Amino acid sequence: MGTADRHRLIGELLRTREEATVEELVEATGASGATIRRDLEVLAAHGVLKRVHGGARSLLARGDNPGYGQRELEDHQAKTRIAGVVDQLIKDRAHVWLDSGSTATEIARRFSHRELTVMPMSLHSVEALTANASGRTPELILPGGSLVPGEQSFRGPMTEANIRSLRFDTAVVTPCALNLKDGLLAHDLDDAAVKRAGLESAARVIVASSGSKWNASAVALVAAMDTVDVIVTDLKPSPEDLARLTKLSVEVVIA
C-alpha cells in the first residue's frame, strides 16, 4: 500500500471512531509500526488528526473542525473522477475562475499541463497548477486579498473586487453544499461572497461536487440553481430531481 492510500485509510478509520492505536493501524494497513508513527506525525501536521500516546485521536469525533487536510482525504476517488470530467469540459486557451477547496485542488492538478489562464482561489491550487516543472503550464492571475490560515484560500473585499474586474469563459465552483431548493451554499458569508463574485463574472458556470455535498448543511447562500450551466458529480440524481434540473436548463454529467 502506497503512502497516499495509507493516509486515506487512516483518515477513513478515524472518521468512524474516536481513537485508534498504532497497533490497530498496523493491522489495518499492513505497514510497520515505525511507518505508521511517521504517517501520524504527517497527518497531525496537516490537521487530519491529533497525535496521542500510543496512537491518534480523530478531530472530527471530538467536534473540532477537521480542516483542509481531513477534507482532502474524503471522497478522494470521486473528486479525482470529477476533476477529470471538468478538465475535458474546458477548452484550451480558456480563461477560468477556479474556486477553493479540495475538489478544486484536484481540478488544478488536471489543469497543470494545460494552455489556460486561471485565477485560483487558494494557494493549494496555485501549488498544484505550478507542479509541472517541464512543459506547458497555465498562466496564473492571483486575486490578492486576505489569506485564510489552514484553508490557504483568498477572502475579502479586495479579492471580490479583483474577481469582478475580469471576465472569465468559465467559473468552476465547488460549493460546500447544494440542493434544489436553495441552490449553492457555503459554510460562511465571506466564502459565499467570493464564490458569488466568481460565478457572476463568468459566461459559463460549472459546479463540481461529490455526492456527499448534495443536501448537506451550510448556512450561507451563494446562488440559485438556475445560475448553473453544468453540474459534474458522482451521484446520479433521482428521475424527479433530474427533471427539475433539466427544466432549469442545468446539464448533469456523472463522473
- b/e for 68-106, b at 16 or more Cβ within 10 A? bbbbbbbbbebbbbbbebbbebbeeebbbbbbbbbbbbb
Domain with 43, as residue range(s), is: 3-65
Domain boundary among 65, 92, 115: 65
pLDDT for residue 73: 67
Q: How many domains, the chain?
A: 2
Q: Give the whole-angstrom CA distance, residue 173 versus residue 50.
A: 31
Residue whose grid cell is 453544468: 230
- As beta bridge partners, residue 220 has 186
* 91 and 48 within one domain: no
pLDDT at 66: 56
The answer to whether 209 and 176 are in contact (CB under 8 A) is no
The CATH number of residue 34's host domain is 1.10.10.10
Same domain, 57 and 81: no
pLDDT of residue 40: 92
Q: Which residues of the chain are modeled with pLDDT < 70?
A: 60-74
**How many helices (H) and strands (E) in the chain?**
10, 15
> Would you state the pLDDT for residue 69?
66
- Predicted local distance difference test score (pLDDT) of residue 77: 87
pLDDT value of position 62: 47
Q: Give residue 189's pLDDT.
A: 95
Is 189 domain-assigned? yes
Asked if the structure places residue 70 within a domain, the reply is: no
